[in-house]
Amino acid sequence: MPPVSDDLRAARAHAYEAARPEILALVPPGARRVLDLGCASGALGAALKARGDVEVVGVERDPVYVAQAAARLDRVIEADLDALAADGLGRFDCLVAADVLEHLVDPWAVLGRFAGLLEPGCRAVISLPNVRHWETFWTLARHGTWPRRPEGVFDATHLRWFTLRDAHALATGAGLEVEHVDRRVRAGRSASAWDGRLARLAGLPAARTLLSFQHVIAARRAT
């Protein structure tokens, strides 16, 4: 896959160059060695390091992001995750895979490979877009075609798509036990004033799946 273009990087800046508080909140405060798959500019890792004494190792394929992350993290590996071996990285007590697995050819193998570096009982934090968001059905019914956009659920560089059930299967197949799911609610392709109101509706089982644009999963490596 070629490096990200400047235009595409700008379109994704709010998602890939932010500290991601919803991810940060699920990284255990006691984590001392964190592996961040698809670390982008290293903003999340920088927030983790500001929070306490922690070593953050990032993996990123885009050279511009690699240069930015290298100034923030303890180590950054420039590599394609589909091809990167886990040998030599050591052990970790937290693994982060935030909005990266859906861009891979074989996310099941990748997650399994790197989850194997977690100490038993330690946590993985996985963020995936929800393809069962209502906009999928609306767009297909109205236009009869799959949307391709610079970012979001229909990011044109996504190679895989996940429902919550698929996300559970991905985690369990990697030897992880799902502990918690944060369903991120959004009315449309970007944040709006409607999101807060819809969050209340998301408590209803019938609406929860259709209103969730993203699932953030905390899972534990089986002992």
98 domain-assigned: yes
1 domain-assigned: no
**Edge-to-edge, what's the strand order for the sheet holding 55-60?**
75-78, 55-60, 33-37, 92-98, 118-129, 212-221, 176-185
Most confident by average pLDDT, 56-65, 180-189, 193-202: 56-65
Mean pLDDT, range 52-56, rounded to an integer: 95
Query: pTM of the prediction?
Result: 0.86
Name the percent of the chain lying above pLDDT 70.
83
Distance CA 221, CA 90 (A): 16
27 has a pLDDT exceeding 90: yes
- CATH number of the domain residue 177 falls in: 3.40.50.150
Mean pLDDT of the chain: 87
104 domain-assigned: yes
Q: Decide: 25 and 46 in contact? Cβ < 8 Å.
A: no
Query: Quick one: pLDDT at residue 119?
Result: 96
Angle (CA) 28 191 9, round 5°: 75
Task: Tell me the residue range of the domain where 109 lies.
Answer: 6-221
The predicted-structure confidence for 195-214, as pLDDT tens digits, reads as follows 455 555 555 555 677 888 89
Using DSSP bridges, classify how beta strands 75-78 and 176-185 pair: parallel, antiparallel or unpaired: unpaired
16 domain-assigned: yes
The number of folded domains in the chain is 1
